[in-house]
Amino acid sequence: MALVPYEETTELGLQKFHKPLATFSFANHTIQIRQDWRHLGVAAVVWDAAIVLSTYLEMGAVELRGRSAVELGAGTGLVGIVAALLGAHVTITDRKVALEFLKSNVQANLPPHIQSKTVIKELTWGQNLGSFSPGEFDLILGADIIYLEETFTDLLQTLEHLCSNHSVILLACRIRYERDNNFLAMLERQFTVRKVHYDPEKDVHIYEAQKRNQKEDL
C-alpha cells in the first residue's frame, strides 16, 4: 500500500485526510476520490506525491495514449485514474485488503469505455509476481511508495520484473529520511535514474528510471 509515516503532518494538516471526499480536476474531468482514514488509515487518503505525479502526467511529459501502465501501491488510485483518463491502458495494484476500496474509486471516476480497459489487480511486492508477465508494462508509476526500509528489496525485485529494457519508471516522493536516499542508491545499481521534476510548494520530487543497458555495466 501507499503508506507513509505520520510525523510530517501537523494536526491541522491531517484534517484534509478526514474528509470523506477529495475533489480534483485532471484531464478535463472532475475526479472525486473517496477517502477512508478511519478504516484504512494512511493507505486510503490522497497524499501530495499523488497530486504532483498526476499533474506531471497531465503536462504530457510522457506519452500515455495507447501505452500499458501499472500503478504500484495505488492506495486511492488517483494516479492510475488520471493515467487512464489520459489514454493509457492501466493496471492499478495494491494489496488485497485495499482492492475493494480502490475499485470503488475507479468505478466512480472512469467512464465505462475506459473502465473496460482498466484492470484492478492484487500485487504484494516480491510475492505474486508470477501473475504478471516479465516486462509487461511500458510505464510503471508509484507515488509515495518509498517508505519502509524492509520493503525496499521486494520493491526493487518487483520493478525489475515488471520492466522491459524500454519501460519507464516514474516515482514521486518526498525525501524525508536518509533511508529514502538509500533506496534511490539501491535503485541506481539496477536502473539509470534522474530527477525530472520538483514541486517546491509540496516538496515532492519525481524520479525517472530505466533499466541499465548491459553494455553500460561492462
CB 126 within 8 Å of CB 155: yes
Q: What are 90-106's pLDDT values in tens digits? A: 999 999 999 999 999 99
The overall pTM is greater than 0.75: yes
Q: What are 83-92's pLDDT values in tens digits? A: 999 999 999 9
Question: In degrees to the nearest 10, what's the CA dihedral of 170, 137, 60, 47?
Answer: -40
Contacts of 89 (CB under 8 A, 6+ apart): 66, 67, 68, 69, 117, 118
Query: Largest Cα–Cα distance in the chain?
Result: 53
Q: Using CA atoms, how far apart are residues 203 and 77, in angstroms rounded to an integer?
A: 21
Region 144-162: mean pLDDT is 94
* Element (DSSP H or E) covering residue 57: helix 48-58
The domains located in the chain, with CATH, are 42-211 (3.40.50.150)
